[in-house]
Structure 1
Amino acid sequence: MLKEIRWYLELALFLALSLVISWLPGRSADWVGRRLGRLFFFLLKERRRIALENIERALPFLEAQPGWVRRTPHELARETFENLGRSLLEDCKIYHGHGRRLIDTVEFRGQEHFERAREKGKGVAFITAHCGNWDLMALAFGARIQELTVVARRQDNPHLNDVLERIRKAYGNRVFYKSSALRAMLGAFKRGETVGMLIDQAVGADEGILIEFLGRPAWATKLPAYIAKKAGTPMVPAFIHREGNHHVMTSYPELIPSTASDPERAAAEDVQALNRCIERYIVEHPTEWYWIHKRWKNTDGLSAPVPGGSDAP
């Protein structure tokens, strides 16, 4: 009973605040989003701690990459929260029907890679991560290029989950939830459809492959590699980032699956290669990745068994 009351209070607070926020003009909304994110940075102490620890431990890897611009963990973490605040305001605008300009101004690059993959007739798996405003990426692609399905995790608060589902289904997109996604995804690919998959969250050892991510061992979902083998569906890495006053979605060439004879090694190499794509994005846009979650859970004392992997696009 108390949990249900809390859920409704959270929903009411979100709807009230988001309605007010949704009417803010573009520049004002961006300014408010940054300040809201900075407020979260100071108030959400545990999330701030996680972000700072993740960044500090990833710095040796990041600083060794070509093109890395040296910045302190505090600066990177604070700007990460600011970007999350900006994305939150953008999603509020979309939820309340004031986000069409956001969608119409997204710039698409590398569309030829998606078209080439789609021509194979086996559907397309967009492989992405919690980068930039990932919900906006799916909405803009669905509204302007081709409807797609996103794979998501249900929120603990079912009422807030309904709000997120409404956002994700805007402009014709669909949602598959992880608990029952595999069969639905295989069916979608058989029909030649496009599915977006976020692959950068920690998973358990029973459903993951141990890889190297930002210089540390991490469990990563093996679902993309399984789908590529089972359905022959092309895997196309795609990400969104902020550029000036608009967003850019970039699609990269299809990942060519590993030719290793051992199925387990082939899957591990494919998953490692996909995560290399995410690493490259983080090097280029370090404050637009989701540093605030526990990406490296249950890996103490472990080392990634698969060295290297394919280079990022």
Structure 2
Amino acid sequence: MSETSDPPSPREGTLTDRAVDLALRGLIGAALAMPYDRRVPFFGAAARRVAGPLAGYRRRALANLALIHPDWPEARREAVAAEALDNFGRLLIEIYSWREFGPRLAGTQLTGEGWPHLEAARAAGRPVIFVSGHFGNFDVPRQVLMREGFQIGGFFREMNNPYVNRHYVENLKGPGGLPFPKSRRGLRDFIRHIGRGGMATILFDLHDGGGVPISFLGRPAMTATTAADLALRFDAALMPYWGIRRPDGLTFDAVLEAPIPHSTPLAMMEEATRRLEAQVAAHPGQWFWIHRRWKGAPA
């Protein structure tokens, strides 16, 4: 499992890192001063029109879309890239708006076939590993389940910019979650949490150089098997869930799917990937096309 290796020691921030952090703090501060219903679309538009193009995210999204959908008209790829940048911006400010975000989900009900399986796991004290992707707002189902009395941690990758990472991590902690950073210590704490019958989320759709190639959207992508490895080790239920943004851009559908049957780590992660592919096919603009998902995979 690649997660057992520590990332490089935290580096000192550069002047550029500091400048980026100051600019981001200013933008977030200005957005947080707005009413919520204006704040979220404002940040989405800022990511779509300014930050995304300047950071190279728009170019990367278009390159990924051309790789996966060369048959699409250019106008369609541009529209999906713009929607992906907008969703990214909305998600980011929703993380920083956690005091309001959770209460706004009060009317959101969990759908899908997973609820009775989750209730059975809770009654038996069985651990649960939720898998999701960088899609829609992946924190929505966790928030909905927390309202029902579940405590759910999360395994996450820290930001490269150390200044940005400090306040990003603090806001991950804000909604009452248990964030476990992707490091040797973070993985150890995560394993202890699962071993005690806990519940936690892993976003499995980032490139992992120590993973295995699994076809994603028709191209091999290096994928960590960590979620399946731990599910087998601790007899944990492996359950996909999704927070799907509705057309109004502010509300969501929360979907909890039936567990992935235990078999081999490879087969389980292939099934998790198929489940994510179905969501991306239905809502292509909600997946993070800005990631280097197919980096280093065999042709």
TM range (shorter): 0.7 to 0.9
Q: Sequence identity, in percent?
A: 24
Tell me which amino acid in the other structure corresponds to 2:268: D
Q: C-alpha separation between the residues in 2 aligned to 1:62 and 1:223?
A: 34
What is the DSSP-based 3-state SS (H/G/I as helix, E as strand, rest coil) of the residue aligned with 1:290?
coil
Unaligned runs of 5+ in 1: 64-69, 259-265, 302-313
Residue 7 (structure 2) aligns with = none
Residue 288 (structure 1) aligns with = 286
Q: C-alpha separation between the residues in 2 aligned to 1:92 and 1:121?
A: 32
2:57 matched to 1:35?
Answer: no
Correspondence list, 1:159-170, <5 A: 159-170=163-174
Tell me which amino acid in the other structure corresponds to 1:215: G
Q: C-alpha separation between the residues in 1 aligned to 2:177 and 2:278?
A: 28
Q: Offset at 1:60?
A: 6.7
Match of 2:295 among 294, 297, 302: 297
Deviations 1:29-56 (A, max 9, x none): 2431332132137633632222112112
Residue 47 (structure 1) aligns with = 57
Residue 231 (structure 2) aligns with = 228
How many residue pairs match? The answer is 284
Q: C-alpha separation between the residues in 2 aligned to 1:200 and 1:283?
A: 15
Correspondence list, 1:65-104, <5 A: 72-94=76-98, 97-104=99-106
Deviations 1:126-151 (A, max 9, x none): 01111112245444433554121110
Unaligned runs of 5+ in 2: 1-10
Q: C-alpha separation between the residues in 2 aligned to 1:106 and 1:8?
A: 38
Q: Normalization by structure 1: what TM-score? A: 0.81
Q: Offset at 1:184?
A: 2.2
Correspondence list, 1:1-313, <5 A: 3-40=13-50, 43-44=53-54, 46-59=56-69, 72-94=76-98, 97-110=99-112, 111-180=115-184, 181-204=186-209, 207-245=210-248, 246-258=251-263, 266-301=264-299
Contact 2:140 2:254 in 1 (8 A): no
Residue 310 (structure 1) aligns with = none
- Deviation beyond 6 Å, 4+ runs, structure 1: 60-63
Tell me which amino acid in the other structure corresponds to 1:203: D
Contact 1:37 1:85 in 2 (8 A): yes
CA RMSD of aligned residues (A): 2.7
Q: Offset at 1:100?
A: 4.3
Q: C-alpha separation between the residues in 1 aligned to 2:234 and 2:166?
A: 31
Q: C-alpha separation between the residues in 2 aligned to 1:4 and 1:25?
A: 34
Q: C-alpha separation between the residues in 1 aligned to 2:72 and 2:225?
A: 25
What is the DSSP-based 3-state SS (H/G/I as helix, E as strand, rest coil) of the residue aligned with 1:104?
coil
Q: 1:19 to 1:107 in 2, by over 3 A?
A: farther
What is the DSSP-based 3-state SS (H/G/I as helix, E as strand, rest coil) of the residue aligned with 2:293?
coil
Deviations 1:49-81 (A, max 9, x none): 221121122227999xxxxxx971111111111
Q: 1:285 to 1:234 in 2, by over 3 A?
A: same
